[in-house]
């Protein structure tokens, strides 16, 4: 098969519409000689004369007549495909989006985001998918539209946007003896029984590393798979836990109170991540902007927006056990 030249298709459509070399040239903004050369190329490619003289005019050959409507349809289709997308009316959208996030994010923000989306675009629906791992393949194959919390692996191709910065705090049931001493000392903290949030079932984290530098260690009695579970356990026992500060909101705290950890743990960045194929999609851009504005309006959100390239793709900010 010879190499395809879409310019030939457009030229053929103009020739069959105008039935004139000079008329087709004017329509396409070409010189008559250039259009004559294009007609010669078309004749060689199709093995047909296409247009032949008839007195002072030109007429189409039977083959040209037979393909004229098909050429017109193909030309219009190519022009549609190669044109910018039409202006999107957000209010009239009908589209579903899948967002991968862990339990903490869903508990804290799903209802709020849904209400904001519904108010702006009643036909847009959100589906929150579980986050059992950080595999980037679902972003590549479009089975998810956004990931909240940076995925690991070979994710250099991905795009992302900082939503807010967070840090870890300690949590204990209201009235727990650890809360009586403020600030909490590293020794009294280590002496408590502990519950750890870890999606992978790990018993230690950054808190243990920090305690070890002080010659201390803690005893972890229980591991649960999410930060909401840490809060639930701390509320109903004497075990103390560690959760992101963003999890400590009035509607989630229940019978627990927070305290500042007596050791340093890394701060981390909450991001939304997507595949570059969605960069220019106007509806996807609208949803990203909505999520950005909604989460940046949180009182505890700090810092300015930054591209994902400014921090590691291997950091998963809302993954239980980052601090332990």
Most distant CA pair in the chain: distance in Å? 106
Residue 27 has pLDDT above 90, yes or no: yes
The reply to whether 201 and 185 lie within a common domain is: yes
Residue 199 has pLDDT above 60, yes or no: yes
- CATH code of the domain covering residue 245: 3.40.190.10
What average pLDDT score do residues 172-194 get? 94
Single residue among 81, 107, 136 that ends a domain in this structure: 81
Residue 307 has pLDDT above 50, yes or no: no
- CATH code of the domain covering residue 64: 1.10.10.10
Comparing 158 with 37, which gets the higher pLDDT?
37
pLDDT in tens, 102-153: 888 998 899 999 999 999 999 999 999 988 777 888 888 889 999 998 555 5
* DSSP-derived 3-state class of residue 146: strand
The reply to whether 231 and 247 lie within a common domain is: yes
287: left (phi > 0), else alpha (psi -120 to 50), else beta? alpha
In a domain, 87, yes or no: no
Residue 324 has pLDDT above 70, yes or no: no
Closest CA to 284 of 31, 23, 95: 95
How far CA 175 is from CA of 54, 252, 255, 290, in Å, comes to 101, 17, 9, 39
Tokens of 34: 């250039």
In a domain, 311, yes or no: no
pLDDT at residue 323 in the model: 65
The reply to whether 277 and 132 lie within a common domain is: yes
The reply to whether 56 and 138 lie within a common domain is: no
Query: For the chain, how many structural domains are there in total?
Result: 3
Q: Which of 26-30, 40-44, 214-218, 300-304 is predicted with the least confidence, judged by mean pLDDT?
A: 300-304
- Averaged confidence pLDDT in the chain: 86
Residue 93 has pLDDT above 90, yes or no: no
The reply to whether 75 and 105 lie within a common domain is: no
Closest CA to 97 of 148, 136, 143: 143
The reply to whether 131 and 189 lie within a common domain is: no
The reply to whether 159 and 173 lie within a common domain is: no
The reply to whether 286 and 239 lie within a common domain is: no
The reply to whether 148 and 277 lie within a common domain is: yes
The range of the structural domain enclosing residue 143 comes to: 93-163+272-306
What average pLDDT score do residues 146-173 get? 83
The reply to whether 72 and 200 lie within a common domain is: no
pLDDT at residue 319 in the model: 44
Residue 82 has pLDDT above 90, yes or no: no
The reply to whether 14 and 73 lie within a common domain is: yes
178 contacts 172 by C-beta, under 8 angstroms: yes
User: How far is 276 from 9, CA to CA, in rounded Å?
Assistant: 31
In a domain, 118, yes or no: yes
What average pLDDT score do residues 31-55 get? 94
Comparing 324 with 165, which gets the higher pLDDT?
165
Single residue among 22, 46, 81 that ends a domain in this structure: 81
pLDDT at residue 135 in the model: 81
In a domain, 128, yes or no: yes
Comparing 117 with 5, which gets the higher pLDDT?
117
The reply to whether 282 and 154 lie within a common domain is: yes
Closest CA to 170 of 262, 235, 269: 262
- Kind of pairing between the strands at 95-100 and 124-129: parallel
pLDDT in tens, 224-277: 999 999 999 999 999 999 999 988 887 778 899 999 999 999 988 888 999 998
Task: Give 276-316 as a DSSP string.
Answer: GGGTT-HHHHHHHHHHHHHHHTSTT--S---BGGGS-TT--
Single residue among 237, 259, 281 that ends a domain in this structure: 259
| pLDDT > 90 fraction of the chain, expressed in percent and rounded | 62
At 299, the pLDDT band (50, 70, 90 cuts) reads low
pLDDT at residue 127 in the model: 97
What average pLDDT score do residues 283-288 get? 94
In a domain, 320, yes or no: no
Residue 296 has pLDDT above 70, yes or no: yes
Rounded to 5 degrees, what angle do the CA atoms 130, 267, 309 make?
Answer: 75
In a domain, 264, yes or no: no
pLDDT at residue 153 in the model: 54
| pLDDT > 70 fraction of the chain, expressed in percent and rounded | 88
In a domain, 281, yes or no: yes
In a domain, 127, yes or no: yes
């Amino acid at each position: 098969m010879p190499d395809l030249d879409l310019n030939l298709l457009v030229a053929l459509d103009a020739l069959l519409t105008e039935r004139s070399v000079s008329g087709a040239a004017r329509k396409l903004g070409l010189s008559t000689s250039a259009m004559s050369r294009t007609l010669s190329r078309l004749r060689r490619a199709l093995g047909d004369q296409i247009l032949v003289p008839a007195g002072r005019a030109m007429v189409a050959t039977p083959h040209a007549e037979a393909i004229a409507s098909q050429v017109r349809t193909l030309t219009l289709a190519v022009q549609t495909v190669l044109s910018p997308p039409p202006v999107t009316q957000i209010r009239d959208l009908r589209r579903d989006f899948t967002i991968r996030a862990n339990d903490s994010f869903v508990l804290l923000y799903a209802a709020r985001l849904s209400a904001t989306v519904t108010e702006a675009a009643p036909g847009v629906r959100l589906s929150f998918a579980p986050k059992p791992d950080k595999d980037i393949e679902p972003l590549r194959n479009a089975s998810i539209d956004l990931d909240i919390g940076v995925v690991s692996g070979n994710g250099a191709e991905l795009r992302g946007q900082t939503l807010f910065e967070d840090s870890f705090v300690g949590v204990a049931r209201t009235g727990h003896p650890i809360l009586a001493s403020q600030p909490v000392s590293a020794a009294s903290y280590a002496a408590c029984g502990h519950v750890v949030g870890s999606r992978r079932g790990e018993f230690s984290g950054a808190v243990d590393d920090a305690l070890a530098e002080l010659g201390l260690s803690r005893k972890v009695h229980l591991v649960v798979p999410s930060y909401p579970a840490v809060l639930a356990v701390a509320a109903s026992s004497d075990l103390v836990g560690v959760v992101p500060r963003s999890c400590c909101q009035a509607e989630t705290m229940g019978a627990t109170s927070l305290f500042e950890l007596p050791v340093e743990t890394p701060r981390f960045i909450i991001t939304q991540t997507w595949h570059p194929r969605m960069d220019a999609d106007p509806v996807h851009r609208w949803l990203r902007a909505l999520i950005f504005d909604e989460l940046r309006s949180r009182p505890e959100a700090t810092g300015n927006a930054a591209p994902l390239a400014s921090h590691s793709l291997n950091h998963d900010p809302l993954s239980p056990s980052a601090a332990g």
